[in-house]
Amino acid sequence: ELGAYILSQGHFHIAYVGVTEEDVSVGLKRRQGFQKAVQMFAPSSNVTYYKTTFHVKDAMKQVSEILSGNRPTVIVCAT
């Protein structure tokens, strides 16, 4: 649902920050759900996937790096 909503709001340059896929519920299934929404609603969108840990400081560092470059229109954080 989140992926569909974000795409419906016109966001097509997206950064997705999630944990590794070793965590099936959070890392794998949430990412797969988001990817499915992208494929259904905006297959030509530009999504960059980033991996982080469950630690807030690690996620903050990752987001800081994302914001220092070519900024996306939205950052999705799935933890």
**Boundaries of every domain in the chain:** 2-78
Q: Annotate 3-35 with b (16+ C-beta within 10 A) or e (fewer).
A: bbebbeeebbebbbbbbeeeeeebbeebbeebe
Class of the 2-78 domain?
Answer: alpha beta
Contact 30, 18 (CB under 8 A): yes
* Residue 58 pLDDT grade (very low, low, confident, very high; cuts 50, 70, 90): very high
What's the whole-number mean pLDDT along residues 61-70? 95
Contact 31, 21 (CB under 8 A): yes
Q: What angle do CA 6, 17, 25 make, to 5 degrees?
A: 90
Is the pLDDT at 72 greater than 90, yes or no? Answer: yes
What's the whole-number mean pLDDT along residues 25-36? 88
